[in-house]
Amino acid sequence: MHIGAIDGGGTKVLVGVVTADGRVLARRQESVPTADPAAYFARCGALLDGCAAECGLGLEALAGVGVSLPAMTDGRDRVFGSPSAGWGPFAVRPLLREALGPAAARTYIENDVNACARAEVRFAHGGRDFVWMTVSTGIGGAVVADGRLVRGARGCAGELGHLKVEHERPRPCGCGGQGCLEAQASGTAIGRLAREVGLGDVDAKCVEALARAGEPAARLVLAQAGRWLGRGLALAANLLNPGRIYIGGGVSHALDLLLPALREAFARDALPLCREVVITRTRLGYEASLLGAAAVCLDGLAAGTARQR
């Protein structure tokens, strides 16, 4: 079975043809401007067409297509908005029909972090109760409870990035709130923190490299970010009692450097029974969201088959 997968990021698009067991047969990556959603999805469709051709297929031969988006969505037709892509609300179905032709009838959409969580279940034996957190430019989250993805009333359950973790000197967040985990400990926040302590014009990746080279200020910055992450995850753990917490996104490369302070803050704030959780980097790696798109499609196709029975 060949599945089309579109990982539509706010800065880059990764597209591939994926098998039912999660092997990526062809992939293409490109930075695609998000300003015009119609043009954006048209380009995604063209990239997928290229991948399918590489496998000797046309779009119509794909069993289905999954799309993961950096946006809040109802998982069916509506995108409610995306700060990172600069999108307001729009209906995505007509754009998918335009971009994918008949294959749009077997196309499934999902928020990107929810998609990662679905990939963790389908391709990595992720478990029945876990939290997935991506730490990159921003911070996103997803919750799987009792084997099911928790969507919430308006599709925005699991927004870990907006848990309030700093009350004394809170940073303003893009959501309009103050002291959100995303404002305090995202890759963007780590870069800003580093610049404030005199590390120069660096981003989170540089901070990681400096910390690995033994630079004390860089280590302190990561310890501070780790404490906020630990605080946020303890809030999530006390609410959900997950068995595992998976961390993805670019900043997860520095997880070993974040973990000592993260664990300390987590242990202080989490209830004793909720402390017994494995905190680990996702094994899905860079393609987590692409595999997520494939998982969303496979889940959607399976649900459709079940309905027909």
Cβ atoms of 222 and 258 within 8 Å: the answer is yes
Question: Does 162 sit near Zn ion (CB under 5 A)?
Answer: yes
- Exactly one of 13, 14, 59, 173 binds Zn ion (CB under 5 A); which one? 173
Least spacing, CB of residue 156 vs Zn ion, in Å: 12
Least spacing, CB of residue 208 vs Zn ion, in Å: 24
Q: Which stretch binds Zn ion (CB under 5 A): 2-10, 143-151, 178-186, 290-298?
A: 178-186
- Per-residue binding letters, 243-282, with Zn ion (x by CB under 5 A): ----------------------------------------
Least spacing, CB of residue 260 vs Zn ion, in Å: 26
Least spacing, CB of residue 177 vs Zn ion, in Å: 4
Least spacing, CB of residue 230 vs Zn ion, in Å: 18
Nearer to Zn ion, 125 or 169 (CB): 169
Question: Does 127 sit near Zn ion (CB under 5 A)?
Answer: no
- What residues are paired with 87 via a beta bridge? 82
The CB-based long-range contact list for 277-281 (8 Å cut-off, 24+ gap) reads 277/237, 277/242, 277/243, 277/244, 277/245, 278/243, 278/244, 278/245, 279/233, 279/244, 279/245, 279/247, 280/244, 280/245, 280/246, 280/247, 281/246, 281/247, 281/248, 281/252, 281/255
Q: Which stretch binds Zn ion (CB under 5 A): 100-108, 142-150, 174-182, 225-233?
A: 174-182
Q: Which stretch binds Zn ion (CB under 5 A): 31-39, 156-164, 251-259, 298-306?
A: 156-164
Least spacing, CB of residue 181 vs Zn ion, in Å: 8
Least spacing, CB of residue 232 vs Zn ion, in Å: 11
Question: Does 118 sit near Zn ion (CB under 5 A)?
Answer: no
Question: Does 81 sit near Zn ion (CB under 5 A)?
Answer: no
- Exactly one of 121, 142, 180, 254 binds Zn ion (CB under 5 A); which one? 180
- Exactly one of 42, 57, 175, 223 binds Zn ion (CB under 5 A); which one? 175
Question: Does 177 sit near Zn ion (CB under 5 A)?
Answer: yes
Instruction: By CB under 5 A, name the binding residues for Zn ion.
Output: 162, 173, 175, 177, 180
